């Protein structure tokens, strides 16, 4: 996403600069009213952007001492390509299961959700099912502050202000700024209560992929305008305002939450041995071995099918192992695109086969 540098209020300018706001300490704020007044000034000064907020218990920083806001799927100081591929495979599996469960439960808009992966990802992200390329923000300062203080045992919390392009649709894609902005209130079925109570939005980069040249472009800190540190006390709200209770942020009777918990339970099981997660992780590790080996004979090899054909011609003594791996390639595609159509026994058996083939090949 394109980096911006916002304009700061007179008070903020004494504390930080537009280029160092991420590495500097948060500007201390004593009351919610004080925060609203600061944000009002920022909104006026930064007319080219729409302001969004995010509340956190801690100010997470990267190795360069900058506040960092990666979508969950990209979080890790040393994220390997294998791990990233695994996370995207898991996301695709969760999306497939979500679409099937929404149809089974006759959820309004299930047909549209089946067609649009961004809506699937939005639900999976907002209900914390699995890692996605999207990150939660809100247009409500009260929601951001309530989240920052929720279950927070620290003395303070942090509120971040981001400048995003104005949106015109419920899913707005801005190619100039390389940003996607998703208004949850417009895309979620009415049975999804949480997004409506939280006034939630999701932000990601355009052309989302598991391949990138510069990971820094995926960090929402590129759009950071201001950082505030607020006290984690009831006195912060004063007599005129109050924190949103947890029961309102996470309302009961949320049908989509129930469905997402069902998916989450399946994915938790999947991460254990002899499950989808174990199979896909083994697959990505072995896939890299096969591709690297094949490129010794043909540097133009870029996909698994060509790699297997190349090795079958040049590693004839491993032909049998490669044929078995080719069979598992078809099973892997079925697993990713139709995970509910596979039995636990079939998955257990093929996971063990893959492990043995990998060990024998090496």
CA distance 60 to 323: 47
Cross-strand partners of 103: none
Residue-by-residue DSSP string for 281-302: HHHHHHHHHHHHHHTTT-TT--
In this prediction, residue 268 carries a pLDDT of 56
Give all strands of the β-sheet with 179-183 in edge-to-edge order. 27-28, 224-231, 156-164, 50-56, 135-138, 200-205, 179-183, 171-174
Bridge-partner residues for 181, per DSSP? 172, 203
pLDDT of residue 344: 67
- Angle, CA of 135, 138 and 143, to the nearest 5°: 120
Q: What is the number of H-type helices and E-type strands within the chain?
A: 14, 8
Which of the four pLDDT bands, split at 50, 70 and 90, describes residue 274? very low
Residue 260 and residue 129 in contact, taking contact as beta carbons nearer than 8 Å: yes
Residue 270 has pLDDT above 70, yes or no: no
pLDDT value at residue 183: 94
Give the residues across from 174 on adjacent strands: 179
What does the pLDDT read at residue 312? Answer: 82
Residue 149 vs residue 322, higher pLDDT: 149
In the predicted model, what is the mean pLDDT of residues 250-255? 93
Residue 327 or 113, more confident: 113
DSSP 46: -
Confidence of residue 340 (pLDDT cuts 50, 70, 90): low
CA dist., res. 159 & res. 31, Å (int): 12
């Amino acid at each position: 996403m394109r980096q911006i540098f916002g304009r700061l209020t007179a008070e903020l300018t004494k504390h930080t600069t537009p280029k160092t706001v991420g590495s500097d300490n948060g500007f201390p704020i004593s009351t919610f009213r004080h925060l609203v007044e600061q944000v009002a000034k920022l909104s006026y000064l930064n007319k080219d952007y729409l302001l969004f907020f995010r509340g956190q218990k801690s100010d997470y920083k990267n190795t360069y001492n900058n506040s960092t806001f990666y979508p969950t799927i990209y979080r890790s100081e040393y994220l390997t390509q294998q791990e990233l591929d695994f996370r995207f495979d898991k996301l695709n599996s969760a999306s497939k299961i979500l679409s099937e469960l929404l149809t089974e439960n006759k959820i309004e808009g299930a047909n549209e959700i089946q067609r649009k992966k961004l809506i699937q990802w939005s639900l999976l992200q907002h209900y914390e099912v699995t890692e996605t390329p999207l990150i939660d923000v809100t247009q409500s300062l009260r929601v951001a502050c309530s989240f920052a203080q929720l279950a927070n045992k620290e003395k303070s919390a942090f509120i971040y202000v981001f400048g995003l392009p104005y949106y015109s649709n419920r899913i707005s894609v801005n190619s100039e700024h390389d940003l996607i902005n998703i208004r949850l209130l417009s895309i979620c079925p009415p049975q999804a209560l949480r997004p409506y109570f939280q006034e939630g939005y999701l932000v990601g980069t355009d052309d989302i992929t598991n391949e990138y040249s510069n990971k820094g472009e995926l960090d929402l800190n590129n759009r950071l305008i201001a950082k505030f540190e607020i006290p984690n006390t009831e006195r912060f709200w004063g007599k005129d305002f109050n924190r949103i209770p947890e029961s309102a942020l996470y309302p009961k009777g949320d049908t989509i939450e129930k469905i997402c918990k069902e998916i989450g339970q399946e994915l938790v099981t999947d991460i254990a041995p002899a499950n989808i997660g174990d199979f896909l992780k083994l697959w990505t590790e072995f896939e890299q071995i096969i591709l690297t080996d094949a490129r010794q004979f043909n540097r133009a090899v870029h996909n698994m099918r060509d790699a297997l054909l190349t090795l079958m011609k040049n590693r004839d003594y491993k032909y049998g192992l490669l044929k078995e791996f080719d069979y598992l390639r078809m099973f892997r595609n079925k697993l990713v695109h139709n995970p509910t159509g596979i039995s636990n026994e079939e998955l257990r058996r093929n996971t063990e086969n893959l492990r043995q083939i990998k060990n024998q090949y090496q």
